Amino acid sequence: MSKAKTLFLALLLPLSLSLNLATGQTASPLVRYDTSYDIVSPVRAQHGMVASEQALATQVGLDILKRGGNAVDAGVAVGFALAVVLPNAGNLGGGGFMLIHDAKSGKDVALDFREMAPAAASRDMYLDAAGQVIPERSLYTHLAVGVPGTVAGLALALEKYGSMPLKDVIAPAIKLAQQGFEVSPTLAAKLAAERGHMERWPSTRAIFFKDGRPLQAGAILRQTDLARSLRLIAAQGKSAFYQGEIGKKIVAEMARHQGSITAADLSNYRVVERTPVSGTYRGYQVLSMPPPSSGGVHIVQMLNMLEHYPVRDYGSNSAQNLHLLSEIMKLAYADRSEYLGDPDFSKVPLQGLTARAYAAELVRQIDPERATPSAAIKPGQPQAYESDQTTHYSVADKYGNVVSTTYTLNMNFGSGIVAGGTGIVLNNEMDDFSAKPGVPNAFGLIGGEANAIRAYKRPLSSMSPTIVLKDGKPFLVTGSPGGSRIISTTLQTIVNVIDHGMNVAEATITPRIHQQWMPDQLRVEKGISPDTLRLLAQKGQQLAPSATLGRTQTIQMDAGGFYGYSDPRNPDGKALGY
């Protein structure tokens, strides 16, 4: 990517009048910006790149690439390292999704290692005798824990698409767990925020607390039990977790506290290899995670809608553009509540939702001047507003492979429970099911029938690891944590790069919005101009100030090299290349 450093504002008024075919509106930029110079520069490299939410884990991935490992080797190493150095979201006791572009075969694969409901799970397991949701039961008890998938997912990825032995890619994580690392202010703040959920479990206190208080910034976090668990996995493979010593300790933990995961549940856990959801956007191919994630389906659906509009002419974060984004998000998230769930349990109309003809039908409902109230779009079941304590990382290697991974414990530190003697924090992913379909649970989360709890089912997710191809080759790897905001964050990253010509750093720092149909709110990050907000309010958008929306880890690549950026919304993250 050659970047001329000259500011060039071309007055293109007569040339730039373009007709919005969907609405008959014209978009008429006064100036068209020259996008060939950088306002903020990404990290540049020639041979490979890693971007993650923790600098130590990024370094682990980079070291593997430098040793000749491929993107999957590095991606698996980063996954194990984040379980140590990002204990609030990185994990062995949770689950996630990995999208891989395998350069040699040209194949794209989506690995689903989402947690699974144990055999004893049932539709009403979080309800009392009167049919009311029991507060916190699906979040901070042993019943909140889904059968973890991460160890099986990382092991399978390495076995099928990696080139290095498991023990070599786990070794850096073992070292970090054994030797310890310094707790950052970000991690200390998360520990303090989750204190109430964590301090009731002695096994958790023993690791994350000192003198009765959560570890403070600057303290050294050593995790010797976790180091031992990692050593067992390095030596015995995933069987150490699903059948061996670790599994036995998890089952014993469950038995001590009326949890429901059994030895058979662990033993039966399977990773599912799925075909990525695929769509095209302005000549690029967009691949993302299929159900049980809702992310890929709705990213493709929304891009299909956006293609009806001259988004570039509208301008990044103009009122016209944000209004359009808000309206298409409402339509997509309304469909999410109705149709999305585990495809192995309910029919998800994937082709229909991602069809261009359907998008053409949907955009007819959009009024360019007036927000449609969410209630008028579709009556019925509003859907869950999920937690944002997930993490994403992206890897690209010199061989042309890329890896896009999002994995999670659900909330920060999941259930807050460490399985005794393992050092492994257990997820609370069961809360991503609808505790009671159609009715808000204790946390205001609401979902549809397709996401009702069933034994062996996987809860609906928003995690959207995404790869964009140009002429069949990787062009962009991205993804984010952020619960339901993952989908809108990933969408805006793609649009910022493809439509607005931003480099990945600019695409990342640009303020974001989020609208998820219900509640009918357009959430806005700080940094969007008051003039724009006034115009949006005049169109009837229900504005709501928001905390940060998403935290992307993005890599772009072309013949000139790799360009990476770790979202500064998490100061602990880093993109590194060589």
Residues with a catalytic annotation lie at 390
CA distances from 157 to 70, 239, 247, 272 (A): 12, 15, 21, 11
- Please say which residue, 483 or 564, places its beta carbon nearer to ligand GLY: 483
C-alpha–C-alpha distance, residues 312 and 330, integer Å: 21
Amino acid letter, 291: P
What DSSP element (H or E) covers 11? strand 9-11
What DSSP element (H or E) covers 32? strand 31-33
Distance between start and end Cα atoms, the chain: 16
Measured from each CB, the residue nearest to ligand GLY is 461
- Please say which residue, 317 or 451, places its beta carbon nearer to ligand GLY: 451
577 binds ligand GLY (CB under 6 A): no
Binding flags for ligand GLY, 392-431, as an x/- string (CB under 6 A)? ----------------x-x---------------------
Q: Which of 386, 397, 506, 572 binds ligand GLY (CB under 6 A)?
A: 386
Scan residues 470-489 and list those touching ligand GLY (CB under 6 A).
Answer: 483
Minimum CB distance to ligand GLY, residue 115 (Å):
9
- Please say which residue, 285 or 462, places its beta carbon nearer to ligand GLY: 462
Scan residues 498-527 and list those touching ligand GLY (CB under 6 A).
Answer: none
E strands in 103-204: 107-113, 181-182
Residue by residue, DSSP assigns 54-104 as SHHHHHHHHHHHHTT--HHHHHHHHHHHHHHH-TTT--SSSEEEEEEEETT
Asked if 304 contacts 496 with a C-beta cutoff of 8 angstroms, the reply is: no
Asked if 289 contacts 467 with a C-beta cutoff of 8 angstroms, the reply is: no
Binding flags for ligand GLY, 344-383, as an x/- string (CB under 6 A)? ----------------------------------------
Minimum CB distance to ligand GLY, residue 451 (Å):
11
Binding flags for ligand GLY, 170-209, as an x/- string (CB under 6 A)? ----------------------------------------
- Please say which residue, 285 or 394, places its beta carbon nearer to ligand GLY: 394
- Please say which residue, 177 or 384, places its beta carbon nearer to ligand GLY: 384
Asked if 33 contacts 374 with a C-beta cutoff of 8 angstroms, the reply is: no
Q: Which of 184, 229, 318, 390 binds ligand GLY (CB under 6 A)?
A: 390
Minimum CB distance to ligand GLY, residue 436 (Å):
18
- List CB contacts of 337: < 8 A, sequence separation 6 or more: 380, 381, 382, 383, 446, 447, 448, 517, 518
C-alpha–C-alpha distance, residues 21 and 102, integer Å: 38
Minimum CB distance to ligand GLY, residue 403 (Å):
18
- Beta-bridged to residue 284, according to DSSP, are 281
- Please say which residue, 483 or 511, places its beta carbon nearer to ligand GLY: 483
Binding flags for ligand GLY, 449-468, as an x/- string (CB under 6 A)? ------------xxx-----
Binding-site size for ligand GLY (CB under 6 A) equals: 9
Minimum CB distance to ligand GLY, residue 516 (Å):
12
Question: What is the bridge-based pairing of β-strands 49-52 and 574-577?
Answer: antiparallel
Minimum CB distance to ligand GLY, residue 18 (Å):
37
Token pair in block for residue 76: 């698996």
- Please say which residue, 453 or 498, places its beta carbon nearer to ligand GLY: 453
Minimum CB distance to ligand GLY, residue 380 (Å):
21
C-alpha–C-alpha distance, residues 464 and 427, integer Å: 19
- The three-state secondary structure class of 412 is coil
- Catalog residues that contact ligand GLY under the rule CB under 6 A: 386, 390, 408, 410, 432, 461-463, 483
